[in-house]
Amino acid sequence: MYLKQKRSWLSIIGLLFAVFVIAAGTFHSSQAQAAKKSKKVFLVGMEANYPPFNWTQQDASNGAVPIQGSNLYANGYDVQVSKRIAKRLGRPVEVAKTEWDGLLPALTSGKIDAIIAGMTPTPEREKTIDFTRAYYNSKQIIVVNKNSKYAKAKTLKDFKGAKLTGQLSTVQYDLIKQIKGAIREPAMRDFSSMRVALQSNTIDGYVAELPEGYSMAVADPNATYINLSGKGGFVLDKTESQEAIGLRKNDPNKATINSVLSKLPNSEQSRLMQQAVKEQPQTSSQGNWFIDIWQQYGGMLLRGIGMTLLLAIVGTAVGFIIGLLIGIVRTIPAPKKRLQRYLINFVNWLLSVYIEVFRGTPMIVQAAVFYYGAAQAFGINLDRTTSALIIVSINTGAYLAEIIRGGIISIDQGQFEAATALGMTHFQQMNKIVLPQAVRNSIPAVTNEFIVNIKDTSVLSIISVSELFFTGSTIAGQNFQFFHTYLTISLIYLIMTFTITRIFRLIEKKLNGPKNYDLMTNDFQIATPKIAGK
Amino acid sequence: MEKDNILTIQHLKKSFGQHEVLKDIDLQVQRGEVMTIIGSSGSGKSTLLRCLNLLDDATAGEILYNGQNILDPNFNRIQYRAKVGMVFQQFNLFNNLNALENCVVAQTTVLKKNPAEAEKNALAQLEKVGMGPYVKAKPAQLSGGQKQRVAIARTLAMSPDMILFDEPTSALDPEMVDGILDIMKDLAHTGLTMILVTHEMGFARDISDHVVFMDQGVIAEQGSAEQIFSSPKNPRTQEFLQRYLKRL
Ligand SMILES: Nc1ncnc2c1ncn2[C@@H]1O[C@H](COP(=O)(O)OP(=O)(O)OP(=O)(O)O)[C@@H](O)[C@H]1O
Ligand SMILES: [Mg+2]
């Protein structure tokens, strides 16, 4: 009667596992279907977070283009150019929203067809990819605060002592070296970060291109920019202030694309850019900023939360199963037969390599290697979400394996001996006696992993998974309300982690069972026991 | 008269590394007898019991169970262990399971009994040791004496041919010892084969059919309870028993 409620642990775990396999399977097949349908899509990589070149918006207005794998849209100068090219190629166009650092690997690994992202053709980059002719001729500027002493600067000399930065791995960041006496702060990942840094006065300015100056001046009334392309300004090759389209080496479409671009004279470029500046997302803050953010971006935030939760839940659950299986294997007593012993030793060795590697390297690196590296080296093309799920799972598995092994070996030897003496096999002992205790003891650590996963999946933005943090930076890139947006995001993180801590407390309580037991008086109690129990 | 031996131990040796703990043990255990092993600490009593149910592997020799050598690599250890129970000094209950589940789990997994039948049997065994009211209690909620009762019920629930007891009362408070000894006395009368390691000399004298005195890894003397306790021949046995009598 008490037993019927109790299912075997392994069967529950098996069930969980099956659910995830099926879920992952259907998920994957729907992705595969989408991929098949859009086989001929011209997929353009850009940050979609660098107005007026490119930005993210929530509808298709002003001729925006869908962002792959989401129901968001991209628009901006780059998008308009992309559309012209796609039209000429006779293919529908979509945008792959990709972090700046992810653009080159995404192109070389075949995840995208072209980079149209305001990228300058540097010799460095030309080593790995090809560039078309320029599609925009730009000017170099420094964005500063209006009320700062640099607002009146005219030449590079005036920036002596200024704390300056630029985007990581850009020409602009290198240009800071030309300013004598300026302090070159560490490079930043994206423009959102630089804008926040400028608003909070942690930097005095950042080097960018003219369109960013237009944008910033529109978006932030306290900002202005200094044009430094003339005399006393930056010295650079003509190509260094041009933007071109990045293609894989020997792309057969290069000639066609060049011919499209040749019909884009400076005047037309300028017209397109002006239009982009006009159409780029504007701050629309009237009334309460918190309500504004939710009204405007509620859907995006919810999807971001959903993705973060999906990654954390699946990652922790699958990681837990991996950890359990490894824990069981790693505690198998040494077999008598020599061959079996060698085999077990070998498997144990492999497992410890797995654990060391995944615990010993940052998840952000694992994600980049797995997602871009696998495609580049072996031509394996997994979609982002699947890759992210796999990375989080095996990463969590590596941590939990050791925790569960600790839980298993901490159970006193006597219980193993008693179970052995009753004739139970290693797996029966594990299933009925050892794992329930090890699992119970590992719950605090699993809770911890879960919370870490909720927060640390933010590093998966490197492979452009739109989890909550990535969503946050997209929103901040649109509304320029960095402080408020990130405050909202942190609040959401806090609520999620707090809720999960509470839920796991409840699970823990449930597993501990009742604090007190009832004395039983049942049918079997024929006579009062001869020796009264104490 | 043909003897019915449940166990025949021949030239049994056990070493831990260089340290030879059991040196050439020869011993016969008759079906249905209560055999007590006494001896000073470190003489190898526990090691012998552990070799008998294969928790430790003997280094050399033979252990015949109903004529079959249990040390044979092809011998079915699982079946044997299910038939030979063991009660430990430290109880070794399964901490995640309540008293009833402790007595059910091996029945369903090892003996493949259906849960209802296993549960009924477990309840009956728990009743027998006076633990009927405590079926729902977890080990952490029980006293030492109660834990040992559950452990005995757990072994009994397997319907064993033989039970090995390794100092079942040594970890108990004195006032709980008698309760456990009474249960064992009752069991002895049911005709179960019992091998018991104990320091309770009075009890050993009362219930044993066969007493074995071990000293430094060998059987120094064995015989009936009457013979060993009343007129021990070996000077070491005499010395050992003297020490106990003095303490009493
Ligand atoms: N796993 C082991 N590894 C090494 N030596 C061991 C091991 N188990 C027991 N021994 C040694 O074997 C000897 C006999 O131990 P055993 O536990 O059989 O003694 P015992 O007669 O049961 O003593 P006690 O009355 O104190 O329980 C001791 O010297 C002990 O140190
Ligand atoms: Mg002992």
Element (H, E) at A96: strand A93-97
CA–CA gap between residue B200 and residue A530 (Å, rounded): 21
- A77 Cβ contact partners less than 8 Å away, ≥ 6 residues apart: A52, A53, A54, A118, A136, A211, A272, A273, A276
Q: Which of A411, A412, A525 sits opposite B132 (nearest CB)?
A: A525
Band (A394; pLDDT cuts 50, 70, 90): very high
| pLDDT of residue A468 exceeding 50 | yes
Q: Cβ of A433 under 8 Å from any chain B Cβ?
A: yes
At residue A284, the pLDDT reads 58
Segment A15-30 shows an average pLDDT of: 48
At B145-173, the pLDDT tens digits run 999 999 999 999 999 999 999 999 998 88
Q: Is the CB of B210 under 6 A from ligand 1?
A: no
The answer to whether the beta carbons of residues A210 and A470 sit under 8 Å apart is: no
At residue A5, the pLDDT reads 40
CA neighbor of A500 nearest in space, from A441, A431, A453, A435: A453
Q: How many angstroms does the Cα of residue A335 sit away from the middle of ligand 2?
A: 26
At residue A102, the pLDDT reads 87
At residue B84, the pLDDT reads 95
CA–CA gap between residue A493 and residue A472 (Å, rounded): 11
- Residue/partner pairs of A184-193 with CB below 8 Å, 24 or more apart: A189/A99, A189/A100, A189/A101, A190/A47, A190/A49, A190/A50, A190/A99, A190/A100, A190/A473, A190/A477, A191/A49, A191/A50, A191/A167, A191/A477, A192/A49, A192/A473, A192/A476, A192/A477, A192/A482
Mean pLDDT of chain A: 84
- B219 Cβ contact partners less than 8 Å away, ≥ 6 residues apart: B25, B26, B27, B212, B213
DSSP string, B156-169: HTT--SEEEEESTT
Q: Is the CB of B145 under 6 A from ligand 1?
A: no
Q: How many CB atoms lie within 10 A of CB B100?
A: 25
CA–CA gap between residue A418 and residue A137 (Å, rounded): 80
Helices (H), A176-288: 191-199, 210-219, 254-262, 266-279
The answer to whether the beta carbons of residues A344 and A335 sit under 8 Å apart is: yes
Q: Which residue has the higher pLDDT, B58 or A196?
A: B58
Pocket test for ligand 1, best of B13, B20, B37, B46 (most atoms within 8 A of CB): B46
| pLDDT of residue A516 exceeding 80 | no
CA–CA gap between residue A90 and residue A71 (Å, rounded): 23
Answer whether B78 sits within 8 Å of A423, measured CB to CB: yes
What separation in angstroms does the CA of A294 have from each of A56, A136, A248, A492? 16, 36, 40, 12
Least confident stretch, A189-193, A526-530, B222-226? A526-530
At residue A286, the pLDDT reads 61
Q: Which residue has the higher pLDDT, A515 or A341?
A: A341
Q: Which of A417, A520, A531 sits opposite B179 (nearest CB)?
A: A531
Band (B81; pLDDT cuts 50, 70, 90): very high
CA–CA gap between residue A501 and residue B77 (Å, rounded): 45
| pLDDT of residue A1 exceeding 60 | no
CA–CA gap between residue B172 and residue B180 (Å, rounded): 9
Least confident stretch, A127-131, A409-413, A475-479, B26-30? A475-479
At residue A483, the pLDDT reads 84
Pocket test for ligand 1, best of B13, B19, B23, B47 (most atoms within 8 A of CB): B47
Helix, strand, coil shares of chain B as percentages rounded to 5? 40, 25, 35
- A106 Cβ contact partners less than 8 Å away, ≥ 6 residues apart: A45, A96, A98, A112, A115, A372
What separation in angstroms does the CA of A251 have from each of A131, A305, B218, B227? 10, 39, 87, 102
Contact list in B for residue A336 (CB cut-off 8 A) is 73
At residue A2, the pLDDT reads 40
Mean pLDDT of chain B: 92
R_g of chain B, CA atoms, integer Å = 18
CA neighbor of A166 nearest in space, from A243, A247, A100: A100
Element (H, E) at A225: strand A223-227
The highest-confidence range among A337-341, A385-389, B22-26, by mean pLDDT, is B22-26
Q: How many CB atoms lie within 10 A of CB A268?
A: 10
Main-chain phi, psi angles of A70, to 5 degrees: -155, 175
At residue A523, the pLDDT reads 44
The answer to whether the beta carbons of residues A6 and B108 sit under 8 Å apart is: no
- Chain B residue closest in CA terms to A421: B81
| pLDDT of residue A126 exceeding 60 | yes
At residue A424, the pLDDT reads 94
At A251-282, the pLDDT tens digits run 999 999 999 999 988 889 989 998 998 888 77
- Which of B51, B59, B102, B105 is the best residue to mutate to test the A interface, defined by the most A CB atoms within 10 Å of its own CB? B105
Contact list in A for residue B109 (CB cut-off 8 A) is 424, 428, 432
Strand-pair partners of B16? B19
Band (B117; pLDDT cuts 50, 70, 90): very high
Q: How many angstroms does the Cα of residue B17 sit away from the middle of ligand 1?
A: 13
Task: Label residues B11-38 b or e (16+ Cβ within 10 Å = b).
Answer: ebbbeeeeeebbeebebbbeebbbbbbb
CA neighbor of B146 nearest in space, from B179, B118, B124: B179
Cis bond leading into B73, ω under 30°?
A: no
CA–CA gap between residue B24 and residue A50 (Å, rounded): 86
The highest-confidence range among A21-25, A325-329, A529-533, by mean pLDDT, is A325-329
| pLDDT of residue A37 exceeding 80 | no
At A155-182, the pLDDT tens digits run 999 999 999 999 888 888 999 999 999 9
Q: Which of A415, A420, A526 sits opposite B81 (nearest CB)?
A: A420
The answer to whether the beta carbons of residues A204 and A166 sit under 8 Å apart is: no
CA–CA gap between residue B63 and residue A2 (Å, rounded): 40
Element (H, E) at A227: strand A223-227
- Residue/partner pairs of B14-19 with CB below 8 Å, 24 or more apart: B14/B44, B14/B47, B14/B48, B14/B51, B14/B56, B14/B58, B14/B59, B15/B59
- Chain B residue closest in CA terms to A432: B105
At residue A283, the pLDDT reads 61
The DSSP code for A54 is: B
Q: How many angstroms does the Cα of residue B197 sit away from the middle of ligand 1?
A: 13
Pocket test for ligand 1, best of B22, B45, B52 (most atoms within 8 A of CB): B45
The DSSP code for A185 is: P
CA–CA gap between residue B14 and residue B61 (Å, rounded): 9
Q: How many CB atoms lie within 10 A of CB A394?
A: 19
Burial category of A77 from C-beta neighbours within 10 Å (exposed 0-12, middle 13-18, buried 19 and up)? buried
Q: Which of A424, A517, A524 sits opposite B109 (nearest CB)?
A: A424
Segment A367-396 shows an average pLDDT of: 85
Q: Do β-strands B34-39 and B193-197 pair in parallel, antiparallel, or remain unpaired?
A: parallel
The DSSP code for A431 is: I
What separation in angstroms does the CA of A368 have from each of A96, A99, A428? 16, 11, 41
The minimum-distance atom of ligand 1 relative to the CA of B199 is 25
CA–CA gap between residue A228 and residue A238 (Å, rounded): 14
- Chain A residue closest in CA terms to B151: A418
CA–CA gap between residue A85 and residue A63 (Å, rounded): 14
Band (A211; pLDDT cuts 50, 70, 90): confident
Provide ipTM, 2 decimals.
0.93
Q: From start to end of chain B, where are the E strands?
A: 5-16, 19-30, 34-39, 60-65, 68-69, 84-87, 162-166, 193-197, 210-215, 218-223
Angle between helices B144-156 and B99-109 (to 10 degrees): 20
Strand-pair partners of B25? B12
